């Protein structure tokens, strides 16, 4: 019978760099990267939808603070945000004794917070653009039906805005995956961190970085595929009619 584990070990035999030990590092890296990107995207999306609605408000005192938030997080490098949240936070006196410390002690949560706030800012602006682009006629029709503002938001504006935002949001997901490569600067062993570790241990830049580049390509391909599928389902009414 074909034995998978013997095959795997034979494959890696006589090979200094792709050993079971480094494979374990890459695997750990893949898990960390996936967790980090997935969680930050989900939380970011949940935050972004209400923020985008409030950001579209005509009342300045509601929309301005959100504009300030998106401006700051889109206007500064993610790396700087990560440094501030990871290294900066420890300069608050007494943080080690506070209930927040279990969160900030680990490198994972500061990175997650930075990534989430960053992607939420971008997603908010993507959705706001889509909300703003809602056809006048649809809104007038909704008003003519006597819909309240919130009902109109729920039934008319949000569903169509979501569809319009989909392609741009797909790009944001891919950007987030690639931006997550900076997580290794705060000691997280993500994919890039694993590559840096193997690189520094075996002094070979090509093998580890090409290998993780391939993994990133595969992940990107999966994301593209998923969004292609979603667009086909949700934007079918916009494609040219088949004969």
The site for another protein (CB under 8 A) is made up of 87, 90, 96, 105-107, 185, 187, 189, 193, 196-197, 199-201, 203-205
* Nearest distance from C-beta of residue 205 to another protein, angstroms: 5
Give the nearer residue to another protein in terms of CB position, either 15 or 148: 15
* Nearest distance from C-beta of residue 187 to another protein, angstroms: 4
* Nearest distance from C-beta of residue 105 to another protein, angstroms: 5
* Nearest distance from C-beta of residue 195 to another protein, angstroms: 11
Q: Do 188 and 41 meet the contact criterion of CB atoms below 8 Å apart?
A: no
Give the nearer residue to another protein in terms of CB position, either 158 or 182: 182
Q: Do 198 and 207 meet the contact criterion of CB atoms below 8 Å apart?
A: yes
Secondary structure (H, E, C), the chain: CCCHHHHHHHHHCCCCCCCHHHHHHHHHHHHHHHHHHHHHHHHHHHHHHHHHHHHCCCCHHHHHHHHHHHHHHHHCCHHHHHHHHHCHHHHCCCCCCCCCHHHHHCCHHHHHHHHHHHHHHHHHHHHHHHHHCCCHHHHHHHHHCCCCHHHHHHHHHHHHHHHHHHHHHHHHHHHHHHHHHHHHHHCCCCHHHHHHHHHHHHCCCHHHHHHHHHHHHHHHHHHHHHHHHHHHHHCHHHCCCCC
Give the nearer residue to another protein in terms of CB position, either 169 or 197: 197
Give the nearer residue to another protein in terms of CB position, either 32 or 119: 32
* Nearest distance from C-beta of residue 96 to another protein, angstroms: 5
* Nearest distance from C-beta of residue 192 to another protein, angstroms: 12
Residues in the chain: 243
* Nearest distance from C-beta of residue 23 to another protein, angstroms: 14
Backbone angles phi, psi at 235, to 5 degrees: -110, 20
Give the nearer residue to another protein in terms of CB position, either 173 or 195: 195
Give the nearer residue to another protein in terms of CB position, either 57 or 96: 96
Give the nearer residue to another protein in terms of CB position, either 25 or 164: 25
């Amino acid at each position: 019978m074909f034995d998978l584990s013997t095959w795997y070990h034979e494959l890696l035999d006589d090979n200094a760099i792709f050993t079971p030990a480094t494979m374990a590092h890459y695997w750990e890296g893949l898990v960390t990267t996936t967790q980090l990107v997935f969680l930050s995207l989900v939380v970011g999306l949940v935050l972004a939808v209400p923020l985008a609605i409030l950001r579209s408000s005509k009342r300045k005192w509601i929309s301005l603070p959100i504009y300030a938030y998106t401006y700051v997080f889109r206007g500064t490098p993610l790396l700087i945000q990560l440094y501030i949240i990871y290294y900066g936070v420890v300069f608050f006196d007494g943080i080690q004794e506070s209930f927040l410390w279990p969160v900030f002690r680990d490198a994972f949560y500061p990175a997650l917070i930075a990534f989430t706030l960053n992607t939420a800012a971008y997603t908010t602006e993507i959705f706001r653009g889509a909300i703003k682009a809602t056809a006048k006629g649809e809104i007038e029709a909704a008003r003519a039906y006597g819909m309240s503002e919130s009902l109109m938001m729920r039934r008319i504006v949000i569903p169509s805005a979501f569809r319009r935002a989909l392609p741009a949001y797909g790009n944001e997901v891919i950007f987030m995956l690639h931006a997550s490569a900076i997580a290794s600067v705060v000691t997280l062993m993500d994919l890039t961190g694993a590559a840096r570790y193997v690189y520094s241990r075996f002094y070979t830049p090509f093998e580890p970085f090409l290998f993780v580049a391939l993994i990133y390509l595969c992940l990107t391909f999966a994301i593209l595929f998923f969004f292609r599928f979603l667009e086909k389902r949700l934007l079918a009414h916009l494609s040219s009619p088949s004969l």
